[in-house]
Structure 1
Amino acid sequence: MRSILTLAGLTLAAGHAAGEGVELEIEIPRLDVAEYHRPYVAVWVARPDHSVVSNVAVWYQQESRGAEEGETWLKDLRQWWRRAGRSLDMPVDGVSGPTQAPGKHTIDLGPNTDLEPGDYQLVVEAAREVGGRELVTIPFSWPLAEGTSSTAEGERELGTVILRSTAP
């Protein structure tokens, strides 16, 4: 399964060749539980001091019972909510989207970036109703070296998360 989202507010690529970009792959594992709910997921780029540079994606319940009810549970993404979420007026164009089914999902972070050279963290947080909460981070230095990738492994709510430089 592959869903492509374009990053709003952050274009990733200083130092990359034309046509090369950066993508993030997030795996949502299939869990064998009696009552399964798709997780809410937030993805953001942070500085080493944990201050937020940019929100990349927020997947949450946007339909069925109404957007306001879905937004109520965004605070369960505790780290994201404290650092960036509570100050946002959801939905955010190009960032927010519906919850995703189990499988691998790719976010295209684009071929260009306005990130200053330096050290950052890509943070992915997931929270699931009648489930758990999990946070994984991938430290990276900008600009990414051509053809590199960094991986983090979740334990339950998230599977493998990969940040990689891509070529055309």
Structure 2
Amino acid sequence: MKDGAGRVLVASNRKARHDYHIDDTYEAGIVLMGTEVKALRAGRASLVDGYASVDNGEIWLEGVHIPEYAQGTWTNHAPRRKRKLLLHRLEIDKLASQAKEKGFTIIPLQLYFLNGRAKVEIGLARGKKEYDKRQTLRERQDRREADRAMSTRADR
């Protein structure tokens, strides 16, 4: 991958949109060590158990797994260490106040490189109830059936 190549997706948290209602999304920079960047460029990361927390006016990404770099030496990183997110002060304050409300959490949605820089898309999320998940699946299935019926009708 060349620098300036645009957006290159490394990891996506597909389960997040199934388990949560995403109210708002933000793009944040992420502070990484050299071996973490090399592991991400190899396309290896997992956002499944990740979440973000606000601590002393800073946002930290926790639970994200970036495996150790295979060619790394004693300078290798811990796979699940806390990583600082880079946002504007107003965005941090807004996220902190909303995350304090009952039922809200900050979760990572995607991890990618944008013009050679590592970015993470985080979302302010509310947990879905089981019936909400079923309703979402039902709507998706109904939409598929309608599209299928429309395509067969257009083929005639």
Calculate the TM-score normalised by the size of structure 1.
0.29
| Larger RCO, structure (CA 8 Å, separation 6 or more) | 1
Looking at secondary structure, tell me which structure has more helix per residue.
2
Calculate the TM-score normalised by the size of structure 2.
0.31
